[in-house]
């Protein structure tokens, strides 16, 4: 009769597979940088990676700047924002992402033209 693997060996296997997946995905992100360098929606400049200084590290500013950089340069951020705005408007939210003015202007132009 075969002996079945113990629960501890199952945990080790799950942990090893999870760690391997995380490492592989991290390596892919470093090999293929997907972070945008310019915003698609607006003509504004994206947050640059903060310069490391000891004073910024000790004050905590460096970590808050990293957080701003990360949230500003998330891959496909502008695309997701466009989709969200379109869905919000489609479901009746005319003030989605500050688009109220542009929706109102476009609506008045259509009304005047028609």
pLDDT in tens, 51-103: 889 998 899 898 898 888 877 777 777 777 888 888 888 887 766 555 444 44
Same domain, 12 and 56: no
Residues 71 and 27 in one domain: no
User: 55 and 10 in one domain?
Assistant: no
Contact 73, 36 (CB under 8 A): yes
pTM greater than the 0.75 cutoff:
no
User: Are 26 and 51 found together in one domain?
Assistant: no
How many angstroms separate the CA atoms of 49 and 101, rounded? Answer: 33
Q: Tell me, what's the pLDDT at 111?
A: 44
66 and 95 fall within a common domain: yes
The parent domain of residue 88 ranges over 37-113
Mean of all residue pLDDT scores within the chain: 75
Name the residue with higher pLDDT: 106 or 46: 46
Q: Are residues 8 and 61 in the same domain?
A: no
For residue 95, what pLDDT is reported? 65
Work out how many domains the chain is built from and give that number: 2
Is the domain of 28 the same as that of 41? no
Q: For residue 80, what pLDDT is reported?
A: 79
Cα-flanking dihedrals φ and ψ of residue 47, to 5°?
-65, 130
Same domain, yes or no: 89 and 49:
yes
- pLDDT at residue 1 above 90? no
87, 53: one domain = yes
Judged by phi (left if over 0) then psi (alpha if -120 to 50, else beta), residue 22 lies in alpha
Same domain membership, residue 47 and residue 83: yes
């Amino acid at each position: 009769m075969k002996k079945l693997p113990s629960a501890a060996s199952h945990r080790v296997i799950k942990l090893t597979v999870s760690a391997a997946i995380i490492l592989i995905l991290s390596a892919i992100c470093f090999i293929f940088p997907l972070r945008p360098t310019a915003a698609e929606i607006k003509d504004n400049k994206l947050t640059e990676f903060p310069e490391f200084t000891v004073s910024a590290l000790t004050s905590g500013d460096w970590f808050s700047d990293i957080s701003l950089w990360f949230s500003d340069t998330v891959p496909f951020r502008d695309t997701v924002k466009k989709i969200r705005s379109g869905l919000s408007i489609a479901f009746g939210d005319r003030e989605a992402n500050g688009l109220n003015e542009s929706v109102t202007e476009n609506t008045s132009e259509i009304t005047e033209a028609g």
